[in-house]
Structure 1
Amino acid sequence: MSVSVSSLSVVPGGAVARFAVEIGRRLGQHGSETWSKVFGPGQNYQVLSRISGSGRLLRRTLQGMPLLPAVLIAIAGGMGITLFSWWILGSLIHTSTKAADPIDITKLSLTIAGGVGAAVALVVAYRRQRDIEQGRFVERFGAAAAQLAASQVAVRIAGVYAMAGVADESTGSRRQQCIDVLCGYLRLPYAPQLGANHQTKHVKKHTVADSGEPDTEDHFEYLQNDKEVRQTIIRVIANHLRRGEHSWSGNDFDFRTAHLENVDFSRATFNAAARFNEATFTGYADFGEVTFGLIALFSDACFTEKAGFTGAMFAGGAWFHQTTFTGDAGFEGATFIHRAVFGEATFTGYAGFFQARFTEGASFNKATFTNGASFDDVIFGAHDDPVLPIGTMFDGADFGTGRVEFDRPRQWGPPPPRFDWDSDLSLEPRNVSPRTWPPTVQS
C-alpha cells in the first residue's frame, strides 16, 4: 500500500474513513509482529506494566509542578508520541517519495500548532479540576473537623462519620490526614469515670484563710458523653480495617498515648505502621486474628483487663517492651514472623502462649510472670544469622509462683532458648515444668 502526504490532504471524508479502516486492518495483521520486533517476544505484559507505572509517576510529578514546566512536558510528550507513531506507521506503510506541496506543509504546521494548543488547554483544565477537588476536600474536611469540636455529643458523632466519608472519597495523603484526625481525637485527655455522664464542668475552689490573698478557682471542662464518640471512632476504624468497599488497611495508625476503652480490632488488617506505644486499654482489648503487615508497637502500653491476641499474625516486628498486662494475656496460636520483644513486660494475670510460633525467636528478658504462663506446643525459632544466630531469651525473667509450662514444644531452637538455670539445673524454679530439663521436642 502506497500513500502520499498530498493525497491524504485532499481525499473526501468517506475515503479517509476507508483509509482508517485499512490502517486498522494492517495494524491488526502486523501489529503483533512489529511489537515483538521492537520490544522482544513475550515482553508485552512487562512493557504495558512499565508504561502504566510511568503514567502514574508522571501524573504525581505534574500535580506539584508549576504550570509552565507542566505545559512544556506535555508538549514534549506529545511530540514524542507523534514521532513514535510516525516510526511505527512508517514500518508498516510504504509512503510515497513525492515532494509535499507547500499547502500540505502549511496544513501540517497548523495541525501541530493546534495540537500544542490542545496540550496547553488540557494541562490548564487538569490543573483547574485539581484545584476544584482540593477546594472541595478542604471545605468538607474543615466542616467535619468543626463537628468533632462541637460540645453536643450528637454533632461530634456526626463529625466522626463525616470525617470517615471524606477519607473514603480521598486517597493518599488526604485520606491519611483524615485518619490522623480521628486517631488524634483518641489521644486527647480522657477520664473514663466521666466519659458516660452529662457533666461538662467541674469547679474546685481554693480558700486561703487569714492570708490576705484572694481565693482561687480551678475550672475543669469535660466533653459530654465522650465515651460514645470515642467508641464510635474505634468502630469506624475497625470496620475499615476489615474487608469492605473502602479499606484503610494501607494507612498508618498512630494511637500513641491514647486512651482506648473496650476496643475490638478482631480480624482487622494493619498493612502499614500500627503504633500503640504508651496507650492505655481499659475494658477488654480484642485483637483476635488481627494481621499486622508491618511493625506493631505496643511498648509501654497498659492493658487493665484481658488482652486477646489469639491467632494474631505479626508479619513485621512485634514490640511489647515494658508492656503491662494487668488481666490475662492471650497469645494462643499467634504467629510472630520476625523477632518478638517482650523484654521487661509484666504479666500480672495468666499469660497464654499455647501453640504460639516465634519464627525468629523472642526476647522475654526480665519479664515478670505473676500468675502462671503456658508455652506448651510452642515453636521457638531463631534469627537466621549464619555468624551469630539469636534465639529466644528469658534472661532475668521472674516466673512468680504460678505454674509455668514449657511442655511438648514443637521446636526448641537452635540455638535453644536461654534461661538463668541452663548452667545449673538446680536453680530451675519449682513452678516451672517440665522438671526434666530441657523439654522434649515433639516428633
Structure 2
Amino acid sequence: MAILADKVTTNLSNMNTFNIGTIMLNVSVIMIYLALLTGLSTINCIKEKYPLFRWIATWVLLSVAAYTLLSWLWGGNFLAGWKSGQSLSFKELLSSTFTAVGGIGAVGYLVIKYREQASAEREEVRQNEGEADKQLTAAIKQLGSKSPQVRIAGVYALADVADTYGSEKYRVDYNKRVVEILCGYLRTERHIKIKKTTDSDMTTHSSGASNSTSINNKTEIPKEELDNSFKEGITTAAEKELTQNPTLNSDGPTESAVLSVLRDHLRFYPPGSSSPEDSRPGPWSRYLINLDGATIMEPLDFQYTHTSKLSCKGTVFYNEVNFTGSHFQDATNFGGCIFNSYTRFQLSAFHYDVNFGPAGDGVTTFVSDADFRGVKFSGKTTFQRTKFARVVSFASTEKGDRSVFVKVANFRGAVFESEANFHQAIFRKEADFSPDYTEYNTSLRTQDSNPINYPTKLVRAIFTKTYFIGCADFDEAKMDELTDFQGALFNEDLRETSDMLFPPTITLTSDGLPEGAKWTEFINDEPKLIEQ
C-alpha cells in the first residue's frame, strides 16, 4: 500500500504532458484500490437481478470517475491524475496493462462472489419462511382443536413462531400475523349461548320491547337511564346464569392463554428492572389489538402494557378488567363496551383520543365499580351517554397523582347512578356535563320530529378541590344537594363570560359559583388564589 501511495503522489506532482503510459499506470492504481475497497462497499442495489457484466462495467466506470474527481481536487487540474512528464518503457507499460486487467478481474470476482452470497442468503430466507409457514399452519390447526389442551399448545406455538421469525428479516411480518390470528380467535363465537328464556328474563325490567336496545346481540339493555331494576337485571340474568352454568365458559383456559400471551408481548422489562412502572413497549405494542365485538369471559390483566392502537368496540367483559399503569399511544376505542366486573385504569395514560361513548345502538356500561384515579387523558375524552351503575372515581391517588383531562372532556348524557368522585381532578379545557341530543332514533332507524334528550345524571358527585381551567357546562344536568364543590377552583378569566353553567338545583353564591368554590387565576395549571 505504501508503494501504491508513493506512485499516486508522484503522478499528482507531475502535470506537464499527456502520456499514454501514465494513463495505464493510473488505471492500474485505480483497479487495485477498487479490488481492495469493493468488498467493504454497501452495494445493496446488486440484490436486484441485473446482468453481471453491467455491474462490473459500472463499478469500473465509477472508480475511474472517483479517481479523476479526487485528482482534480488534489492537483488543481481536471486531468492532474492523468498527466506526467516522464516516459515509460515498454516493460512498464506492459506491467501496467496486466495490472489493470488483473484489477478488473478482481472486481468481477468480488461481484460474482457477492451475488453468490446474496443468492444463498435469499435461498435461506425462503427456506426459513417455508418452515415458518409450516409451523404457523400447524399451530392454527391446534388452535382449532376440540381439546382445550391442544388449543393452549396452539396458542404458545403461535407465539413461538412470532418470537422466532419476527418481522424484520423476512418478507412476512409474523408478529403482525400472529397478533391478528389471536385477536381473531377472541372475536369468534366460542362460548355456549345463553338460553332464550334468560334473554327474556333480562328484558322484564324494561318498559317494553320498543324501549330496549340490544348490544352485540348479547345483552338487552334499556334505553332509559340506569336504575336499580336495570342493575339487578344485569346481575341476575347474565352474571348469575354464567356463574351457575360453567359450560358457558368452556373455553376459559384457552382464552386465558391468549390474553396472557398478548399481555406479555405488549410490555417489556429491561434487565435490572425492579418496578412494574419500568415497563417498556413490547414486540407487539406497535400493532392494532382488535377485540371488536369479542366476549371476554376470563379476567383481563393488561397492567403496565403499551398499545399503539386498541379497539374494543362493543366488547363484553364478564370478569375483572385491569389496565393499571398502561399506556395507550394512539386512538383507543371502548365504545359500546359492557364491563360487568370491577374495572381499573388507575395511573394509565391515554396519549391520544379515547372513546367510552356510544357505538351504534350500544352505550358503554360499567355494571360494577370503575377506577380512573390518576389517569392522564391527553387527547379528546369521550364518556358520552356512558352509564356507571356503581362508584366511579376520577380522583387523585393516595400518592397525590391527579387525573388530568388535557383536552375536551365530554360527559354529555352520562348517567352516574352512584357516587362519581372527581376530587382534585384537573380539567384544562371544557368540562361538558350538558345533555346529549340526538335527532335520530337509532333503534328504529327513523328520524324523529323532536330530538331525544339524554340529560346528564349525577346522583352524588364530588368535585372537591377540582380545577376547572376551561369552561364548565353543567346546564340541565340532574344534580342534587349532595353535589360537593368545596374547594373547587374556577378560572378567573371566565368570570364575566357565560361559559360556567349550572342547573337550578345547585345553589350559587354571589360570585356565581356553587358553595365552597372560588375564582382564581391559573399559571401553568397551578392556581393563584385571589382574595375574595
Q: What TM-score does the superposition give when structure 1 sets the normalisation length?
A: 0.70
SS at match of 2:368: coil
Match of 2:330 in 1: 294
Number of the residue aligned with 1:68: 49
Q: Secondary structure at the match of 2:412?
A: coil
**Cα distance, 1:92 vs. partner?**
8.0
**Measured at CA, do residues 103 and 87 of structure 1 come closer, stay the same or move farther in structure 2, by a change above 3 Å?**
same
Alignment of 1:244-323 (within 5 A): 244=269, 247-260=283-296, 261-270=298-307, 272-322=308-358, 323=364
The alpha-carbon distance between structure 1 residues 224 and 284, as it changes in their structure 2 partners (threshold 3 A), is closer
More displaced stretch, 326-335 vs 432-441? 432-441
Q: For the pair shown, which has the larger CA radius of gyration, 1 or 2?
A: 2
Select the residue among 464, 475, 482 that pairs with 1:431.
482
Contact 2:28–2:103 under 8 Å retained in 1: no
Identical-residue share of aligned pairs (%): 22
Equivalent residue number for residue 117 of structure 1: 112
Task: Look up the SS of the partner of 2:263 in the other structure.
Answer: helix
Superposed CA RMSD: 3.8
TM-aligned CA deviation for residue 372 of structure 1:
2.1
Aligned twin of 2:263: 238
Contact 1:284 1:307 in 2 (8 A): yes
The answer to whether the Cα contact below 8 Å between 2:427 and 2:469 also exists between their aligned partners in 1 is yes
| 1:362 is the counterpart of 2:409 | yes
1:272-294 deviation per Cα after TM superposition (whole angstroms, max 9, x unaligned): 11111111111111111111111
TM-superposed CA distance for 1:429, in Å, is 3.3
Residues 109 and 242 (structure 1 numbering): CA distance in 2 closer, same or farther, change over 3 Å?
A: closer
CA deviations over 1:40-98 (Å, ceiling 9, x no partner): xxxxxxxxxxx99xx9xx69x96xxxx52598998799669856875797678997856
Paired position in structure 1 for 2:497: none
In structure 1, C-alpha distance between the alignment counterparts of 2:355 and 2:366, rounded to whole Å: 14
Q: CA deviation at 1:399?
A: 5.1
Equivalent pair of 1:401/1:431 in contact (CA under 8 Å) = no
Quote the offset at 1:224 in angstroms.
8.9
What amino acid maps onto 1:405 in structure 2?
I
Alignment correspondent of 2:6: 2
Q: Distance in 2 between matches of 1:286 and 1:187?
A: 19
* Matches of 2:463 and 2:407, distance apart in 1: 18
In the superposition, relative to structure 1, how do residues 75 and 379 fare at CA in structure 2: closer, same or farther (>3 Å)?
farther
Q: Is the 8 A contact 2:52 2:112 kept in 1?
A: no
Deviation at 1:342, TM superposition (A): 0.9
Q: 1:329 maps to what in 2?
A: 370
The whole-number CA distance in structure 2 between the counterparts of 1:263 and 1:154 is 20
Provide the C-alpha distance between the structure 2 equivalents of 1:258 and 1:76, rounded to a whole number of angstroms: 61
The CA distance in 2 between the partners of 1:73 and 1:258, in whole Å, is 57
Residues 434 and 456, structure 2, Cα contact 8 Å, conserved in 1: no
Q: In the superposition, relative to structure 1, how do residues 130 and 330 fare at CA in structure 2: closer, same or farther (>3 Å)?
A: same
Instruction: Give the 5 Å matches for 1:140-179.
Output: 140-169=135-164, 170-171=166-167, 173-179=173-179
Q: Cα distance, 1:133 vs. partner? A: 2.1
Aligned equivalents of 2:412, 2:293: Cα separation in 1: 24
After superposition, where does 1:198-217 map in structure 2 within 5 Å? none
State the secondary structure of the residue aligned to 1:184. Answer: helix
**Contact 1:287/1:312, CA 8 A, preserved across alignment:** yes
Contact 1:376 1:409 in 2 (8 A): yes
Q: Taking structure 1 as reference, are residues 116 and 234 closer, same or farther at Cα in structure 2, changes over 3 Å only?
A: same
**Deviation (angstroms), 1:111:** 2.5
Q: Which piece of structure 1 moves more, 169-178 or 340-349?
A: 169-178
Residue 419 in structure 1 maps to residue 504 in structure 2 = no
> Where do 5+ consecutive residues of structure 1 fail to align?
11-15, 24-50, 195-221, 383-390
**What are structure 2's unaligned runs of at least 5 residues?**
9-23, 195-246, 271-281, 359-363, 396-401, 436-453, 486-506, 521-526
**Equivalent AA in structure 2 for residue 68 of structure 1:** K
What TM-score, normalized by structure 2, do the two folds share? 0.59
The separation in 2 between residues aligned to 1:71 and 1:279, in whole angstroms, is: 58
Q: CA contact under 8 A between 1:74 and 1:123: conserved in structure 2? A: no
SS in 1 for 2:49: helix
Q: How many residues align?
A: 356
Q: Secondary structure at the residue paired with 1:277?
A: coil
Identify if the C-alpha distance between structure 1 residues 130 and 394 changes in structure 2 by more than 3 Å, giving closer, same or farther: same
The separation in 2 between residues aligned to 1:344 and 1:335, in whole angstroms, is 21
Work out the CA distance in 1 between the residues paired with 2:415 and 2:315: 20
Change (3 A) 1:342 1:125: same
Q: Is the 8 A contact 1:335 1:357 kept in 2?
A: yes
Q: Distance in 2 between matches of 1:110 and 1:299?
A: 68
2:459 aligned residue: 402
Structure-2 separation of matches of 1:84 and 1:431:
86
1:151–1:224 CA contact under 8 A, matched in 2: no
Q: State how far apart, in whole Å, the 1-side matches of 2:55 and 2:312 are.
A: 45
Closer/same/farther in 2, CA of residues 121 and 92 from structure 1, 3 Å limit: farther
Describe the superposition over 1:286-321 as per-residue Cα deviations: whole angstroms up to 9, x where unpaired.
111111111111111110111111111001111111
CA distance in 2, matches of 1:313, 1:122: 48
CA 1:334–1:122 in 2, change beyond 3 Å: closer, same or farther? same
With over 3 angstroms needed to count, the CA separation of the structure-2 counterparts of 1:75 and 1:376, relative to structure 1, is farther
* Residue in 2 that maps onto 1:197: none
